[in-house]
Amino acid sequence: MKRLLSFVLALLLILLGISIFGLVTGKHETEEPVPEPVIETAAPVESAEPAELTPPAEEEPEEPAVDASEFTDTNSLLVVANKKHKLPDGYVPADLVEPNITATQYCTMRAPAAEAIAAMAQAAAADGVTLKISSAYRGEDYQRSLYNNYSASYGSETADTISSRPGYSDHQTGLAADFVEQDGSMNGINFNQNFENTDSGIWLREHAHEYGFIMRYPKGKQDITGYAYEPWHFRYIGTEYATEIYNVDEFYTFEEYFGVEGGDYAD
């Protein structure tokens, strides 16, 4: 009996010791706290000044490969009459005919231009616009009289901006025409920059190239053509070149496109 009590007591002591040991060691086995994730924030980068974008330079259209003789050959549709290029003395085109278009007086043009202007007038009529001309071919003697009258009225300096000296007129080529409204009288519209706002002026600006005509003296190009803006004066050069010039800019000039010298008189 004593042995049994001793054994039970010893067992209790062992269990008590294990419990005490567990309590002691448990105090030191605390869980390590989980560190919070460190979010690295990048240092703010100073934004660089946006680079200035340089628009690409506008490319000048290449000059067409045209033999220079085309500009002096009076049989050519590209023959030039400007302040730097004089026509042969006494030149009269050999193929002048009366064009089938309403006119305020008798007018003639070279045959190719006459045919084209008639087709153009017919197309305009289909759009409800009546095209009318007051002047086309002008002989050298007539041009001399006209220029002298302007010189007498306004002085030669002003006359040189609105009329040609004899032999230098685009009209003498037989390929040019002046368009007018109504009866062609000097009413503040005809032979005036206001012509650009008329039905005829608007239609011609939009469609003349389709029939081979260009505005010969466009706006803002006096230093190049030698003449003030004339929205009524159109010149026949053929549909191919007229359309190419118009596609560059409606106010692009013959001189710019073909690289032909223009501007004022040499003397």
Strands, E assignment, the chain? 96-97, 102-103, 109-110, 132-135, 176-180, 213-217, 230-236
Whether residue 162 is contained in a domain is answered as yes
Q: Is pLDDT above 60 for 4?
A: no
- On whether residue 198 sits in a domain, the answer given is yes
Tell me how far apart the alpha carbons of residues 1 and 120 are, in angstroms, rounded to a whole number.
143
Cα(69)–Cα(249) distance, rounded to whole angstroms?
26
pLDDT surpasses 60 at 159: yes
- Listed in sequence order, the residues at least 6 apart from 86 whose beta carbon sits closer than 8 Å to its beta carbon are 167, 168
pLDDT band at 29 (very low <50, low <70, confident <90, very high): very low
Quote the number of domains for the chain.
Answer: 1
Per the domain annotation, does 18 fall within a domain?
A: no
Supply the DSSP symbol for 106. Answer: -
- Domain assignment present for residue 50? The answer is no
Give the model confidence (pLDDT) of 145-154 as tens digits: 999 999 999 9
Q: Which residues contact 192 (CB under 8 A, 6 or more apart)?
A: 186
Say which residue the tokens 């009996």 belong to: 1
> Cα(38)–Cα(41) distance, rounded to whole angstroms?
9
The pLDDT of residue 190 is above 90 = yes
* CATH code for the domain of 217: 3.30.1380.10
pLDDT of 24 strictly over 90: no
103's tokens: 């006119």
**Distance of CA 22 to CAs 15, 29, 30, 32, 59, Å?**
11, 10, 13, 19, 93
Range of the domain at 105: 68-258
pLDDT digits (tens, 9 = 90+) for 31-67: 444 344 433 444 444 444 545 555 555 566 677 889 9
Model confidence at 174: pLDDT above 60: yes
Nearest partner of 253 among 212, 211, 222, judged by Cα: 222
Segment 111-123 shows an average pLDDT of 98
Domain-embedded: residue 138: yes
Domain membership flag for residue 160 = yes
- pLDDT (mean) for 138-142: 96
- For the sheet with 132-135, list strands across it: 102-103, 132-135, 176-180, 230-236, 213-217
Residue (of 112, 82, 116) closest to 94 by Cα position: 112
Query: Quick check: is 7 in a domain?
Result: no
Mean pLDDT for 160-165 is 91
| Burial of residue 42 (number of CB atoms within 10 Å: 0-12, 13-18, 19+) | exposed
* Distance, CA of 169 to CA of 175 (rounded, Å): 11
pLDDT value of residue 34 = 37
Residue 47 belongs to some domain of the structure:
no
